[in-house]
Structure 1
Amino acid sequence: MRYGILGATEAYDDRGAPLPVGGQRLRALLAALALNAGRAVLVGTLIDEVWADTDDPPGDATAALQALVGRLRRALGKEAVASAPGGYRLAVAPEDVDLHRFERLTREGRAALDRDDPACAARLLRDALALWRGPALADLPDRAA
């Protein structure tokens, strides 16, 4: 599976086919988990991220979050979102999220410049820039979150 947040929030299966992640809240949940790929995100943090566009999350935000997690598991596969102590985690390596690949490629590109290898740096930095499909988290209402 691959995940994209450098543009609209997207998910792709192992063959590269897009997976349906419909609804703003569901994409906000996926984005919050993808930002922390492979690491647990606390329920409170996820609630803050998913309802970042409102000052007043639902009365039973924990139950609403659980319902969203269930929907996300149905969209991505139940093994994609794992329960973790106090929260959830996207069961994926950071390299499977475009943001984390971008960060690695830019680090490697800078290192190539430092060792006087401009051709390698140019290739790595071009690959990093190619991951961008528009403004990060473009489809979410509060991209600053």
Structure 2
Amino acid sequence: VKTLESLHLSHNKLESLPPALFTLLKLRHLDVSHNSIAVLPPDVGSLNNLQHLAINSNKLEILPKSLFRCTKLKVLSVGHNALSALPEAVGQLVQLTQLELRGNCLDRLPATLGNCRLLRRSGLVVEDHLFDTLPVDAKESIGRETNASLTG
């Protein structure tokens, strides 16, 4: 079990994540979407090899700062929760190529999102009015597309 790299626990009516989950240090893909999880424990920061985290359609109100120590994250899906803010620390996720935020209670996006140099507009799943809250330089960084449309 210690060498487990992918774990899918979606649609299981989970209300919390078991502490043993955070001992799976080789875990690269974790899907706990479509549950009833209200709190993402700070221990999530120990999953240093995590590249894909899907925790959309839960009951999260905040993301722990420790999550942003998972600097290998390429995909972070936290859409359809109850998030009211995206921490500035999101800018530490420099490998991020996809960020799903749609369906939360956000009123702005942090300027540090511009530090996610691999993130493009097509990979940022968010309401258009939120994209418009970004500073111009962050919008330009994220908005660089090769063959994609910026309408959405």
Greater share of residues in helix: 1
Regarding TM over 0.5, the answer is no
Q: Which of 1 and 2 has higher RCO (CA within 8 Å, sep 6+)?
A: 1
Q: In which range does the TM-score fall when normalised by the shorter chain?
A: under 0.3
TM-score with structure 2 setting the length: 0.20
**TM-score of the superposed pair, with normalisation by structure 1:** 0.21
| Rg comparison, structure with higher value | 1
